[in-house]
Amino acid sequence: MSASAEYSRAEIVIDLAAIRRNVETLCTAVAAHADGPAVMVVVKADGYGHGLFGSARAARAGGATWLGVAERGEALDLRSDGDSGRILAWLAMPGEDFGPLIEADIDVAAYSTAQLAEIVAAAQALGQPARVHLKVDTGLSRGGAPRSQWQDLVEAARTAETDGHVKVAGIWSHLACADQPDHPANPEQEGVFEAALEVAEEAGLDPEVRHLANSAAALLHPESWYDLVRIGIAAYGLSPAPAVVSAESLGLVPAMTVRARAAMTKDIAIGDGVSYGHTYVADKAMRVALVPLGYGDGIPRHASSVGPVQVRGMRSQVLGRVCMDQFVVEAPRGTLAGDEVVLFGSGADGEPTAQDWADACGTISYEIVTRMGGIAGRAERRWTDDDGTLV
Ligand SMILES: Cc1ncc(COP(=O)(O)O)c(C=O)c1O
């Protein structure tokens, strides 16, 4: 990807065509199986830092029939942007007014009978039934009804459905260890999910979609697909299970590039300490470049002395501590202020990827892209598309 001549400090470039193609690739992969599931692309947290609207449009163009978000605001923003397809919003607070979501034709999740009662109250007030996805906790111990409360939730939902206040559109759960295909929690959770579906069926519920799989399960475990897969990180071109399979081998292309211009360059001598605490001391004379990004922009401080970069085609890395607004990297001789330092990108030109940053920092690629593009980040974001239809 060529650099924009315009940016002066740093920029984050989102390749929407890559997201669209990744989604096409994922849709094709699941469609290859008989009764292939529908695809939901998860665009929560501002599209994992890639931008809510661009990511959503690219996902729809790639074949996503559903979008998934955590918060109500994200769902309503998608409607304001003109998205008229199915959207599921799955995280609500006690006392939430579900009215605006129901009115905007957004599917909502119920984790408990108390929450279902709030949904029913809003639907009644509005005179419009809510489409609800009942969530069962099959073993993640995060959101969803515990098994002990599942029967009650199902029965309350059935009553509300008979009364015309809700339609149980979905029954769903979330896996804890999908990125470890051999983990015993996977079959255990599937077993609990099967039992929960039976309870629902016995109560007379007939959901349109049963869904369990995230990206890792969608890519590695067809038994977990049911009627819908919820794909997040893979849509952005990163592997959900890098220890098992690389993004490249899955045909996925990372969509986010982060780059900056050197604010200054200088030569340092052997023995010179670099950045706060002198945690790095030069073991040779070298050229260094000052990169005008720091943890105020979402660069993990854990990247200190390990974060990989590319300068003038040379791979090098952060020297010493990442500061709030800046860090120092080794640079080839001849590097000048204004030269480009690529932090990560698709990898096509030999630059590091977000996965390389995650490996270096001891985290996951999800966190790298989400925090860089996130609201805390100060670097400008720019969206590109090779045929111009998405931006
Ligand atoms: C409930 C739910 N489903 C699906 C996803 C997508 O997960 P992934 O990005 O691993 O595909 C997430 C993301 O964390 C999630 O919270």
Buried b or exposed e, range 75-109, using 16+ CB within 10 angstroms: bbbbbeeebeebbbbbebeeebebbbbbebebbbb
For residues 256 and 16, give the distance between their C-alpha atoms in angstroms, rounded to a whole number. Answer: 9
Question: Quick one: which of 351, 348, 330 has its CA closest to 267?
Answer: 330
Measured in Å, residue 32 CA sits from the centre of ligand 1 at 22
Exposed / middle / buried, residue 344 (Cβ in 10 Å: 0-12, 13-18, 19+) = buried
Measured in Å, residue 191 CA sits from the centre of ligand 1 at 20
Secondary-structure class of domain 256-384 per CATH: mainly beta
For 310-342, the pLDDT digits (tens) are 999 999 999 999 999 999 999 999 999 999 999
Which of 42, 66, 136, 219 to probe ligand 1 with, by most ligand atoms within 8 A of CB? 42
For residues 177 and 83, give the distance between their C-alpha atoms in angstroms, rounded to a whole number. Answer: 32
- The atom number, within ligand 1, closest to the CA of 218 reads 11
- pLDDT reported for residue 376: 53
Share of the chain above pLDDT 90, in %: 93
Radius of gyration of the chain (CA): 23
For the entire predicted model, the pTM comes to: 0.96
Range(s) of the chain covered by CATH 2.40.37.10: 256-384
Confidence of residue 7 (pLDDT cuts 50, 70, 90): confident
Mean pLDDT of all residues in 112-120: 98
CB-defined site of ligand 1, < 6 Å: 42, 90, 174, 214-216, 230-233, 240
The question of whether 284 is a catalytic residue gets the answer no
DSSP state of 379: S
- pLDDT reported for residue 134: 98
Q: Residue 256 belongs to what H/E stretch?
A: strand 256-261
Q: Residue 153 belongs to what H/E stretch?
A: helix 147-162
Range(s) of the chain covered by CATH 3.20.20.10: 65-234
Show the tokens assigned to 78. 């998608």
The question of whether 276 is a catalytic residue gets the answer yes
Measured in Å, residue 5 CA sits from the centre of ligand 1 at 36
* Mean pLDDT computed over every residue of the chain: 96
Confidence of residue 189 (pLDDT cuts 50, 70, 90): very high
Domain 65-234 has CATH 3.20.20.10: yes
DSSP state of 301: G
Which of 180, 214, 233 to probe ligand 1 with, by most ligand atoms within 8 A of CB? 214
